[in-house]
Amino acid sequence: MDNNQPIIVKRVKKFAAGHHGGAWKIAFADFAVAMMAFFLVLWLMSSATPEQKKAISGYFQDPVGFSESASPYVIDLGGTPTPAPDKTLNPEVKDAKAATDTASDTDSDIAPSETQAENIAEKLEKERLELLLQELQNKVNENPQLQRFKDQILFEITQDGLRIQIMDAANRPMFDSGSARLQPYFEDILIAMSDTIKAVPNKISISGHTDAEPFVGRGDYGNWELSAERANAARRTLVAGSYPEDQIARVVGYASSALFDREDPMNPVNRRIDIIVLTKKAQRAIEGSQGEGEATPPPAEGAPVTPAPGAAPAAQTTPEQLQEKLNVFDNGALKLDQAREN
């Protein structure tokens, strides 16, 4: 029997379930590269200077002009913002442009003018006083003892600073009749406010006011003396409440010369104590007028105390003095934040 029959070998390919080749590896590699590029951009942006960010922004805003060196935006990887050479300009225009750029760089190094420094300081000071006003209003609203008298306490920002007016009510006077003796509730108001007011470095002015009713008292003693003594009594109470005495710039009595309600001179609201947290400008005016022996005129209805016409002009402000002011204001804001947390 012939055993030389052909042997047939059959090869069968087996595929694992769900396997589609190695395409996913390419997709994953692309994703990894994209993520690496993304985090690289984030790192570069976090470490870039404002000039470099401006240059990048300029490229995306004007890529054509940027590539032709006609855009003012350049990317300087060396850390110094120097313009790229202008290939499209002739030599005369290039020289003129270079001179202009040099002049601009020189001007940017000049310190701000005195007017600019003063404006910056006044703006920061106004922000501090507005923050103080908010703190005082919150204290009145949150303190049950003060809430009863909130209709007698008025806060406002004036050209001379933050003005706090505490007024009489027909059934709730601040002082004994015809006397400079404070009622207990008025002492509580002043002591409660002293903790917040002293958180800023600004000095204060305290003034006393009466209504227009003639005072019948001891000899020549009248409303002028009474208003001055009441203002001084308020000063003593603030100091007793831990307010620094050297932070008080002025204590003065105006009698009935600056009525709050001119339509009704006998209105109890005309009997009031005004506390002004002074701006630095108003403080200098007061100190200058006191040095010259000039008296500051009484304020009009609802208006802040203004400097006397003969007051000494404000001192010149140098950049160093401006920096000192900014430090003082920042310290005041820090104290307010600490007072709020306490």
Residue 221: the pLDDT is 85
Q: How far is CA 98 from CA 33, 69, 103, 106, 148, in A?
A: 42, 14, 9, 12, 70
- Measured from the Cβ of residue 225, the count of other Cβ atoms closer than 10 Å reads 16
How many domains are contained in the chain? 2
Packing angle of the helix pair 184-197, 223-240 (nearest 10 deg): 60
Widest pairwise Cα distance in the chain: 162
Q: Could you tell me if 78 and 178 lie in one domain?
A: no
If asked whether residues 182 and 223 sit together in one domain, one would say: yes
Instruction: Examine the domain organization and report whether 123 and 228 are in the same domain.
Output: yes
With respect to residue 21, please indicate whether it lies within any of the assigned structural domains: no
Q: Please give the Cα distance from 264 to 266 (Å, whole number).
A: 5
| Residue 315 confidence (pLDDT) | 46
Q: What is the pLDDT of residue 261?
A: 92
User: Is 119 a residue whose pLDDT tops 70?
Assistant: yes
Among left, alpha and beta (phi > 0; psi -120 to 50; other), residue 293 is left
Range of the domain at 69: 45-92
302 and 166, same structural domain? yes
Query: What pLDDT sits at residue 156?
Result: 93
pLDDT in the model for residue 219? 75
Q: What does the block give as tokens for 212?
A: 């227009």
pLDDT digits (tens, 9 = 90+) for 58-103: 777 776 655 554 445 444 445 455 554 544 445 555 555 555 555 5
pLDDT-based confidence at residue 312 (cuts at 50, 70, 90): very low
Q: What is the CATH number of the domain that holds 288?
A: 3.30.1330.60
State whether 78 and 154 are in the same domain. Answer: no
Q: Binning pLDDT at 50, 70 and 90, where does residue 316 land?
A: very low
Residue 31, phi then psi, degrees to nearest 5 = -65, -40
Confidence of residue 272 (pLDDT cuts 50, 70, 90): very high
Residue 6 has pLDDT above 60, yes or no: yes
Query: Does residue 143 register a pLDDT over 60?
Result: yes
User: Is pLDDT of 229 > 90?
Assistant: yes
Q: What 3-state class would DSSP assign to 124?
A: helix
Shared-domain flag, residues 70 and 213: no
Asked if residue 81 and residue 163 are part of one domain, the reply reads: no
Domain assignment present for 272: yes
Q: Residues for the chain: how many in total?
A: 342
Residue 274: beta bridge partners? 165, 207
Specify which residues 175 forms β-bridges with: 182
Are both 211 and 327 inside the same structural domain?
yes
pLDDT for 165 beyond 70:
yes
CA dist 184 and 170 (Å) reads 16
3-state secondary structure 189-213: HHHHHHHHHCCCCCCEEEEEECCCC
DSSP at 237: H
Percentage of the chain exceeding pLDDT 70:
65
